[in-house]
């Protein structure tokens, strides 16, 4: 059982007052490696049409850059890893404002500027408030860009409901400490945020739990795509794994893309 506090905003606020950089469960390179086939469109989808790929006809226009939601970014450098791989349309979301300060610092230290986006938002709030928070962050950053500061935006990118991918490294774990209801709201929010267009949308999650998403299978096709053995103190210790999940939004259950914002949570 996880220690208490991981579902408390105060816990994270206090932690980030001094913590400048920390990776939960595994380095960012690990989740990026799990996500890469899906981000690059090389993996076969669970269902639906084949994704476009770099091997498609030279007359096809290149697919637009993916819009990625980084859930509970904390003081991880995952956004920098994504940017280094060419993914700049990343929105880092955390409900602890200091986490986003740390995120910007990490990005600036590595690249000399800030191009990914940062949104203070509670992922377990109702979808409408979350979308408002994300849209407000988008508007703020675009205004800054128009004023000459920062980059990104300005290309008609509407944040709410239009992400191609969501990534989380142990954020679902932290939120699950608040009970099944909290995880359910997170899942509903991510379901709504993922685009129905293009590659169909997917969520890659790295978790310490083998059952993390059992209760949201009505919303997502849930697949374990990687099991990562953890270090043992003694050879006789039991095998313990971290789980790399691929979640693809289901269209079934009466949930169409027109449902956004209609359901309270």
Ligand X SMILES: C[S@@+](CC[C@H](N)C(=O)[O-])C[C@H]1O[C@@H](n2cnc3c(N)ncnc32)[C@H](O)[C@@H]1O
Distance CA 205, CA 251 (A): 20
Q: Find the shortest distance in angstroms from Cβ 72 to ligand X.
A: 3
Q: Find the shortest distance in angstroms from Cβ 155 to ligand X.
A: 26
Exposed e or buried b for every residue in 3-34, given b needs 16+ CB within 10 A? eeebbeeebbeebbeeeeeebbbbebebbbeb
Distance CA 190, CA 265 (A): 13
User: Which positions lie near ligand X, rule CB under 6 A?
Assistant: 12, 22-24, 72-74, 76, 94-96, 99, 122-124, 169-171, 174-175
Which position's Cβ is nearest ligand X?
72
Main-chain phi, psi angles of 91, to 5 degrees: -110, 115
Q: Find the shortest distance in angstroms from Cβ 21 to ligand X.
A: 9
Of the two residues 77 and 142, which places its CB atom closer to ligand X in the complex? 77
Distance CA 148, CA 228 (A): 44
Q: Find the shortest distance in angstroms from Cβ 174 to ligand X.
A: 4
What are the start-end ranges of the H helices in the chain?
Answer: 9-18, 28-39, 78-84, 97-111, 127-146, 171-176, 180-193
- The half-sphere exposure of 146 on its side-chain side, counting CA atoms within 13 A, is 8
Of the two residues 123 and 159, which places its CB atom closer to ligand X in the complex? 123
Of the two residues 80 and 124, which places its CB atom closer to ligand X in the complex? 124
Of the two residues 200 and 204, which places its CB atom closer to ligand X in the complex? 204
Of the two residues 130 and 200, which places its CB atom closer to ligand X in the complex? 130
Q: Find the shortest distance in angstroms from Cβ 159 to ligand X.
A: 15
Strand order in the sheet with 241-249: 117-120, 90-94, 68-71, 165-169, 202-207, 241-249, 220-229
Of the two residues 73 and 116, which places its CB atom closer to ligand X in the complex? 73
Q: Find the shortest distance in angstroms from Cβ 249 to ligand X.
A: 20
- The CA R_g of the chain, rounded to the nearest whole Å, is 18
């Amino acid at each position: 059982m996880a220690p208490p506090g991981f579902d408390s905003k105060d816990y994270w606020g206090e932690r980030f007052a001094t913590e400048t950089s920390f990776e939960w469960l595994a380095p960012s390179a690990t989740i990026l490696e799990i996500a890469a086939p899906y981000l690059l469109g090389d993996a076969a989808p669970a269902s639906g049409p084949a994704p476009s790929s770099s091997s498609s006809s030279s007359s096809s226009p290149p697919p637009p850059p993916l819009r990625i939601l980084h859930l509970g970014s904390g003081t991880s450098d995952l956004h920098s890893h994504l940017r280094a791989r060419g993914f700049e349309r990343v929105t880092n979301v955390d409900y602890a404002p200091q986490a986003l300060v740390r995120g910007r610092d990490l990005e600036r230290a590595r690249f000399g500027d800030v191009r990914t986006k940062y949104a203070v938002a509670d992922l377990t709030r109702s979808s409408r408030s979350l979308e408002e928070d994300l849209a407000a962050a988008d508007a703020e950053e675009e205004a800054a860009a128009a004023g000459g500061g920062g980059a990104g935006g300005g290309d008609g990118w509407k944040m709410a409901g239009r992400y191609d991918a969501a990534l989380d490294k142990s954020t679902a774990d932290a939120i699950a400490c608040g009970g099944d209801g909290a995880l359910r709201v997170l899942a509903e929010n991510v379901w709504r945020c993922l685009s129905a267009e293009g590659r169909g949308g997917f969520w890659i999650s790295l978790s310490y739990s083998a059952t993390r998403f059992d209760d949201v299978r009505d919303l997502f096709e849930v697949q374990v795509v990687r099991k990562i053995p953890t270090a043992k103190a003694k050879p006789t210790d039991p095998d313990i794994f971290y789980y790399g999940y691929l979640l693809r939004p289901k269209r079934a259950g009466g949930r169409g893309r027109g449902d956004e914002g209609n359901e309270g949570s």
